[in-house]
Structures are given as C-alpha cells and as structure tokens.
Amino acid sequence: MDKGNSLPGHQAASQPAWGSGAGDDAESAGQDPYGTPPYGQPGPWAPAPPVQRPDPTPPAGTQLPPPAQGPAPQARSEGPRYDPWATPHGGTPVPQAHPAPQQPPAGRGRAGRLVAGAAVIALVAGVLGGGIGVYLEREGLFSEVRLPQATAGESPPPEGSIAGIAAEVLPGVVTLGGGTGFVLDDEGHILTNAHVVRPAAESGVIDVTFSSGDRAQAEVIGQDSGYDLAVVKVTGVSGLSPLPLGDSDAVRVGDPVVAIGAPFDLAGTVTSGIISATERPITAGGAEADGSDISYVNALQTDAPINPGNSGGPLVDGSGRVIGVNSAIRTADSGGLDPGQSGSVGLGFAIPVNQAKDVAEQLINTGRASHPVIGVTLDTGYPGDGARIGSASGGRAVEPGSPADEAGVEEGDVITAVDGEPVRGSDELIVKIRSHRPGDELELTIERDGDEISLPVTLGEAYSD
C-alpha cells in the first residue's frame, strides 16, 4: 500500500463560493445579502433592518400618566348627602342593634380554593405517578437489562472429547518454517515433513515456536524426500511434552481423528474428522526437475480439514496418540496432490506413523533413511493397467544381482499385483514397495506373454543421495 500520495483532482479554494456565481460580488450577482450561505461558509455582512423597541408593559399598581390636559369639568352643586350613621344634630349617636360582620380581605377565599385544588391535583398526580412507576419498574423500563447466562464449569473436558484430546496434544505441537511438527522425546527431537525444512537445507538451522510461545533454534538432523519426512532437534529446552505414538496398522475406516497444526500461520489450530480410507497410494511434490522431491506414500486419507501450514503436524486418534503425519492434500483447482498451495476440500493425506517411526529412528541414529527396492526400471509411459518393466533409455531394465533379477523378473513383464493387491500403475507399485521394509518378502503377480505367474521377491535396501 503506497502512503503519502495526494488525492487526484484536489485543489485548495482561495475564495468562498456561494451560489452559482462563485467569486463574484454578492450584490452584483443578484443575490439576497440576507440569504443564508452554503453550510460551512461564512455569511456576508449586511446592515440590519430598522427596528423599534416597544414600550414595556407597566407593572401592576403602577400609576398611569394623567390624561391629556383640558378644561376642568365643572363641579355640580349638590346638597348634603344623607348619612345614616351620622350623629344627629344636637343628639347622641344611635347605638347599633347588631355589629356589622367583618368581611374577609378581597382575594383570600380564591387563594384558598387554589391551594386546595393544587393539593388535590398533587395527590392525584402522586398516586398516578406511583402506580405508573411501579408498572414501569416491574416491566424493566427503568433498569438495565441483564440476560441470563450459564456459568462455565471448573471440571476438565471429558476424556476422549475433541477438547480433551486438544488439551493433551497441543503442548507437544510446534510450528517451524512454513509448517508444523511435534515432539518425539525429551531429548528435543521433533518430527516434521521434509518439504517443511527444505528451505533451511543450506544453513541447517530452523526456528521453532512452542505452544507456550517460547522460541528456540533447531538443527536439522536428517531428511528424506522419498518419504517426505525430516527430524530436527532443539537443545537447552526443558519441559518438553513428547506425543505418544499409536499403531497405524490398527486404524480402521471411520475412526475419529484430530489434526493439529498451523494452517496459513494460524498456530494451534484444531480440526477433526474421520479416517476416510487406508493404504491410499499417493505421490506428492515434483517441483524439482529431477524428481528428487517426489514422495511416495501409502497414506491414511482423512476428511479432517488440512490446509497449507498443517504439513508435518500430527494426526491423532481418539486417545490422543499419533497415527499419522499430515503431509498432502488434494485440491479441486489443481486436480492433483499438493503439499501446501491450496485450501482443503476434505481430502487430506497423512504418512502412517508406523512408517514415520521407522524413518525417524533411522534419521536420528544415522542421519539418513534406507528405502526398500527390487532393482528394476519402470516404463512410466505404459498405458495399460499395471507397471511394465522397461527402460526408455535403452539400458537394462533389470539390474543384475538385484532382488528382481534373483526372483526371475524379466524386461517386458507387467506387474499387476503385490501380495494380491492390484497395481494400476508404476507410481502405485513404488508406493506399495515403499510401504514395507528392506528384507520383507513380497509376492509379485506378473503377466508375461499372455500368461500370469507369481514370483516371490525379497526387498533390497538403498539410500537416497
């Protein structure tokens, strides 16, 4: 985001503009000098219209000025008025038969009535107001609303629940590079995917962040692209939480599973699902021109959401034991397997932990891992079902002295099954062989010249460069 760029088309106005004639004199533009200017602009100054102040009304009891001077009215001559209470000439005052009643001062009766009326009105208003207030208070209109809410319990999550599994597993999960890993032992060994630590191949050092937020640097002990597995080690870190390893051979379709990782850098993300399939042959990688980054896995398939960043994280069973290492997803847009480029569509794949355990032990003990081989070259362009033995370069397709040579495999043979399980292509044959260990004996079903034969073969051993 660029910052500091001026807004296009913005320029300062030096004069306020009112009406359509911006900048012109208001009077010359025919505008009302007393009109209201546009909102936010100062109005023009104009002389106020002439006004008069009316004389104030005199207060009550104030003497009004005398009327205009004129000729004085003539006094009318009248005789003496009769005064019934006057003393008669030459006599004593006549006593009154009854004393005259005293009249209340003018206005006192009216004031009393007003006070009484006001008291009645106040009483009625108080009663009505109290009743209305009680009603409004009862309806909660005068008080803040408080909604009911259940309180969280103090007890730990039930054993075997997703919350319980997450609480047990999360302390042993770490983030590193662009992916995830998990602690194998108290010595600081951490298992992850090879494609997660590949960017650290030159330096051999990678940053690790634990669930507690503590950080440390780890040394890459070893990696194997063919299995897409790697082991790193941290030193000087105490309080590690190794995760227990389960048995991937005992996993059944439909078993509940939980995946933990850092999808899109969101560390500590927990997702759940089931095992959708077992022994699903997959190949992933292929970014390198020589194919050195291609991994062949007889994988566990799960619908637990796995996204970029989950790679190398644990797939655990209902008891919190690791049964697989999340490695690849199938994407709807690319139509292929991708170790970390697109979002989950419910097709995730994990390396079985039995295979991961064997490779991890080799990497920890020797720094490299061996692969089981039969010593043949496969014709990857063969269009039919099965894996055809053949070399595109014209060299020998069966290596002399190899397990395949000793078993009687010939160039042109098509391997259609391994231990009775169908083989549909060359990649699937490699996956099925890699799911075993050197020294294991397999039975190959071969089509040769229209006939079907079975050949036993003992797997040899090879190491990646």
- Catalytic positions are 195, 228, 311
DSSP 23-89: TS-TTTTT--TTSPPSTTSPPPP-PPPP--PPPPPPPTTPPPPPPPP-PPPPPPP--PPP-TTSPPT
Cα 326 to Cα 328: distance, rounded to the nearest angstrom = 6
In this structure, are residues 261 and 180 in contact, taking their beta carbons and an 8 Å threshold? yes
**Segment holding 349, helix H or strand E:** strand 348-352
Sign of CA dihedral 33, 34, 39, 45: positive
Cα 358 to Cα 363: distance, rounded to the nearest angstrom = 9
- Residue 405, phi then psi, degrees to nearest 5: -65, -45
Cα 312 to Cα 195: distance, rounded to the nearest angstrom = 9
The three-state (H, E, C) secondary structure of 216-267, written as one string: EEEEEEEEECCCCEEEEEECCCCCCCCCCECCHHHCCCCCEEEEEECHHHCC
Name the residue among 302, 386, 295 with its Cα closest to residue 337: 295
What is the DSSP secondary structure assignment for residue 376, as one 8-state letter?
A: B
Radius of gyration of the chain (CA): 51
β-pairing, 441-448 vs 451-458, is antiparallel
Let me know if 162 is exposed, middle or buried by CB neighbors in 10 A (0-12, 13-18, 19+): middle
In this structure, are residues 242 and 181 in contact, taking their beta carbons and an 8 Å threshold? no
Give the end-to-end CA distance of the chain in Å, rounded to a whole number. 45
The amino acid sitting at 184 is L
Neighbouring residues of 351: CB distance < 8 A, sequence distance ≥ 6: 227, 228, 229, 297, 299, 300, 324, 325, 327
**Segment holding 460, helix H or strand E:** strand 460-463
State the residue for tokens 């009326």.
Answer: 117
Cα 22 to Cα 16: distance, rounded to the nearest angstrom = 7
